[in-house]
Structure 1
Amino acid sequence: MAPVETTAVTVEEVMRTQRAEGPATVLAIGTATPDNCVSQADYADYYFRVTKSEHLVDLKKKFKRMCDNSMIRKRYMHLTEDIIQENPNIGSFMAPSLDARQDILVAEIPKLGKAAAEKAIKEWGQPKSKITHLVFCTTSGVDMPGADYQLVKLLGLRPSVRRVMLYQQGCYAGGTVLRVAKDLAENNRGARVLVVCSEIIAMCFRGPSEAHIDSLIGQALFGDGAAAVIVGADPDVPMERPLFQLVSASQTIVPGTDGFIEGQLREVGLTFQLHKDVPLAISKNIESALVAAFDRLMRRRGSAWTVGAAPDAPMERPLCSSLSASQTIVPGTDGFIEGQLRELGLTFQLHKDVPLAISKNIESALVAAFAPLGINDWNSIFWVAHPGGPAILDMVEAEANLDKKRMHATRHVLSEYGNMSSACVLFILDGMRKRSAEEGQTTTGEGLDWGVLFGFGPGLTIETVVLHSVPITAP
């Protein structure tokens, strides 16, 4: 019998069959917060009482002014007065407390993440068995196996779900998780990626110190929250309803910002240092980050730029697409934002120039992202910016010449939840698509087609994700 002739399959052909046709798309969003809600107007009194620091009268007045100027109305926190009383070292400034903090966080971070994930899965409307990948992100609660493993058990996901665990990325990680999810969805045909950001500030809560005013900035801003999204390419319409397309993603380190935002994990917990020029550094680098993000994201057809293949299955309805994602380190910002985890908890160092460094780099990020699309009017795109604080948002608005309405969704999350680190930008996306529908806008991006998502954090690092909204159709 003569041998049967077969045609050899090339590696390239195999890879093509493994890849999706269209861009990664956000298919559902869910958010969750602890039950304990604190009013910003009363927080100075509460904070100095529970940390037994009411004798520091002048420092309390200074902290009250910080709270009043924060543009925050309320925040949610897992730490209650009873928990602090049961663990008094948590309320001290630099007392050994890592074990107590870890005991709380290792248990509660996956639980809060589960609450957000269940909402996203419910909106998605598909069985959990279709989830192929899990990306979990948190700043604290480090353990092995990690929060990703615990969430698989809490949700009852398949044990073969492919997991990515991201610890201690900081405030830019909302962009990081979308960049990772985009790569997973587009390079694994049929993949459905569950992304979860769960943040609880118990690792960096501590009492006041007259010698460390920068620590009070974090105490006035940070809150707890979790957000989850389902990401997949080639949505199965009408069974899946697309929200946003992830067009591109990038990351960069802002030049000259070493030490601007730093965190150290020590016996006292996680401490942060924030440089005063962080807002300026971010705003001055936004445009270059945008240029970099959009530089390689499109395919040219004739004279028109196209996002990618349109979904042709009848079971999914895209929400928005992500065309590109990028990350960059801002030059000259070493040490601008740093955190250290130690026995006293998580400490942060924020350089005074963090707002300046961010604002000065926003324009370059925008140009890099949108130049290939011929977009240079930053008011013609929708904005999802990490709300690191009012100074950062003010400087970014000024540097990019933005109308006040462009940052409405971002400022609303800052007001209602505070700075929830990596979870913030996903809260903003959720609020934006809901408000767009309520107001009768034509797209999930406030009636606009193109948008940008920015994450700012330790490094000083900027994450840039280019988004494409999806038309809103009647339910």
Structure 2
Amino acid sequence: MPGAAAAAAAAVGGSRRCTQHAEGHAAVLAIGTANPANIVLQADFADHHFGLSNCDHLTELKDKMKRICHKSAIEKRYFHLDDELLRAHPEFIDKNLPSLDARVGIVATEVPKLAESAARKAITEWGRSANDITHLIFSTYSGCCAPSADLQLASLLGLHPSVSRTILNLHGCSGGGRALQLAKELAENNQSSRILVACSELTLICFSGPDQSNIVSHGLFGDGASAVIVGAGPLDSSERPLFEMVAASQTTIPGTGHAFGMQVASGGIDFHLSIQVPMLITQNIQQCLLDAFHSIGKVDPNWNDLFWAVHPGGRAILDNIEGVLKLQPWKLDASRHVLSEYGNMSGATIAFVLDELRRRLDKEENKKHDPEWGIMLAFGPGITIETMVLRAPVPCGLKEN
């Protein structure tokens, strides 16, 4: 065998799969986040968006977007798309013009690069080598090519050739929750495994000039990437569990496929987001929560005794959940903070919320009053609800069951 081929074979050899179960529940061991450099203030977004799209003459539609932005509870968002890029690709403005190839060509490079920034932060916090990652799960709605973003990210990070990769595509806002549930199952069923969960989204793939069908989504979504390291015991002495992942489930609300969806077209990805989405989630959320806690033997928990990591799909979703569950006003503060500072970054957003929540729980003045149990919720096309029961570990490690 030629020398180069022999070296490649040696590098590839040595699968690290393990069929032994791990000890206890999986845990979040580190979190990293990243955003593009370009910031747009929400108060300026309508002017910015209509100006970029040469649509300032649509005054009635522009006023409607200004009202949406004003009520959104969003202060700013981050975008890869800027004036220079749009000048180079004027076809992005008109979704009736073929532009998918150009969009995919950009996101194929930029989505993994943004994920790399978040992943390197998570790996640094984790404190171990990237070579110790055994599995990679990558979620995005922004990619339509192969080799896909998971392989690109593995290459950028220098992961071992035997890393087990999974790509989740077009799961939308529930992608982060779905990826974390898969990571939990992998960690608990493969002793010593360490899973990197990466989510990266660029709205460039679905940007277009404003019309009645898209101004709500254009007024909510931003760009961002997140990375989470997940593993189960035995933990290394250097590893610090942030959240124990106790139980997880996925529920699809029957007959709601019309309410939220995405379609790849020649002009990019078309979003369909019904104004019914907050109501549909609200009508079903309590049963999902009860089912999740019943699965671990906890009946009728007090919702205000929990900590909350809820995907901030929009202000109405958070307001409705707070109302139907009669939550104290501060219970969704982590979600509201992320919505304010970043907007809705689709599947990447839930890790931003977990990151903000752990900072709040880490504050010394709150230590004596921190809830032990918590919940993570993410919502996506279907309508799909991802639910995960979390537990805050004691400083020395995971609690016993």
TM-score, scaled to structure 2: 0.92
Paired residue secondary structure (1:258): coil
In structure 1, C-alpha distance between the alignment counterparts of 2:251 and 2:118, rounded to whole Å: 29
- Alignment correspondent of 1:419: 344
Give yes or no for the alignment of 1:169 onto 2:94.
no
2:246 aligns to what?
A: 247
Q: Of 343, 359, 362, which aligns to 1:437?
A: 362
Q: What's the counterpart of residue 306 of structure 2? A: 381
Q: Which residue of 2 aligns with 1:180?
A: 182
Cα deviation, 1:355-380, whole Å, max 9, x if unaligned, reads: xxxxxxxxxxxxxxxxx213431111
Structure 1 alignment gaps of length 5 or more: 1-14, 298-371
* Matched position secondary structure for 1:441: helix
> Counterpart of 1:465?
388
Q: 1-side partners of 2:376 and 2:358: how far apart?
A: 14
130, 133, 147: which one aligns with 1:131: 133
User: How far apart are the structure 2 equivalents of 1:207 and 1:410?
Assistant: 29
Equivalent runs, 1:350-389 vs 2, <5 Å: 372-389=297-314
- Name the residue aligned to 1:291: 290
Change (3 A) 1:17 1:89: closer
**Letter of the aligned partner of 1:467 in structure 2?**
L
Secondary structure in structure 1 of the residue aligned to 2:366: coil
Structure 1 residues 33-64: Cα deviation after superposition (integer angstroms, max 9, x where no partner): 01111110111111111100011111111111
**Structure 1 SS opposite 2:390:** strand
Query: Within 2, Cα distance between the matches of 1:180 and 1:393?
Result: 25
Q: Which residue of 2 aligns with 1:451?
A: 374
The alignment partner of 1:257 has SS state of coil
- Residue of structure 2 in register with 1:57 after alignment: 59
TM (norm. structure 1) is 0.78
Separation in 2, partners of 1:284, 1:295:
19
Q: Greater RCO between the two (CA within 8 Å, min separation 6)?
A: 2
Partner of 2:337: helix, strand, or coil? helix
Does the CA contact (< 8 Å) of 1:387 and 1:410 recur in 2? yes
The aligned counterpart of 2:328 is 403
> Any idea what the Cα deviations from partners look like across 1:424-448, whole Å, max 9, x if unmatched?
11000001111222353328xx811
What's the secondary structure of 1:194's corresponding residue?
A: strand
Give 1:329-344 correspondences, 5 Å limit.
Answer: none
Structure 2 gap ranges (5+): 1-16, 397-401
Contact 1:175 1:454 in 2 (8 A): yes
Q: Post-superposition shift, 1:254?
A: 1.0
Which residues in structure 2 correspond to 1:267-346 (within 5 Å)? Answer: 267-297=266-296
SS at match of 1:173: helix
8 Å CA contact 2:28–2:228 kept in 1: the answer is: yes
Deviation for aligned residue 1:220: 0.4
Partner of 1:6: none
* Aligned counterparts of 2:209 and 2:120: Cα–Cα separation in 1: 35
Structure 2: how far apart are the matches of 1:102 and 1:295?
44
Q: 2:319 aligns with which of 377, 387, 394?
A: 394
- The whole-number CA distance in structure 2 between the counterparts of 1:207 and 1:221 is 15
Cα distance in 1 between the residues matched to 2:334 and 2:164: 33
- Counterpart of 1:454, as a letter, is L
Q: Which amino acid in structure 1 is aligned with residue 332 of structure 2? A: M
Letter of the 1:388 counterpart: G
Could you tell me which amino acid in structure 1 is paired with residue 382 of structure 2? G
AA aligned opposite 1:447:
D
In 1, distance between residues paired with 2:50 and 2:19? Answer: 60
Q: Report the CA distance shift for 1:398/1:82 in structure 2 as closer, same or farther (over 3 A).
A: same
Q: Would the aligned equivalents of 2:293 and 2:301 in 1 still touch at CA under 8 Å?
A: no
Alignment partner of 2:97: what SS? coil
Cα distance in 2, alignment partners of residues 107 and 17 from structure 1: 35
1:386-432 CA deviation, whole Å, 9 max, x = no partner? 11111111111111111110110000000000000001110000011
| Partners of 1:249 and 1:465 within 8 A in 2 | yes
Q: Which of 116, 119, 128 is the aligned partner of 1:117?
A: 119
Calculate percent identity across the aligned residue pairs: 48
Distance 1:439 1:199 in 2: 34
The equivalent of 1:233 in structure 2 is 232
CA distance in 2: counterparts of 1:61 and 1:91, whole angstroms: 19
Q: Is residue 29 from structure 1 mapped to residue 28 from structure 2 by the alignment?
A: no
Alpha carbons 1:25, 1:235 under 8 Å: kept:
no
Aligned residue number for residue 352 of structure 1: none
Q: What secondary structure sits across from 1:184 in the alignment?
A: helix
Residue 221 (1) aligns with residue 220 (2): yes
Relative to its length, the structure with more helix (as a share) is 2
CA distance in 2, matches of 1:417, 1:379: 26
Deviation for aligned residue 1:449: 0.7
- How many aligned positions are there? 380
Give the structure 1 partner of residue 265 of structure 2.
Answer: 266
Whether the 8 Å CA contact 1:94–1:206 is kept in 2: the answer is no
What's the offset of the Cα at 1:238?
2.8
Contact 2:46–2:69 (8 Å) recurs in 1: yes
Structure 2 match to 1:208: 210
Asked whether the equivalents of residues 290 and 300 of structure 2 are also in contact (C-alpha less than 8 Å), the reply is: no
1:89 Cα offset (Å): 1.2
Counterpart secondary structure, 2:375: strand
2:358 maps to amino acid: R
SS of 1:256's equivalent? Answer: coil
1:365 alignment counterpart = none
Instruction: Write the distance in 2 (CA, Å) between the matches of 1:393 and 1:455.
Output: 11
Moved more, 86-95 or 155-164: 86-95
Distance of aligned partners of 1:418 and 1:235 in 2 relative to their CA distance in 1, 3 Å threshold: farther
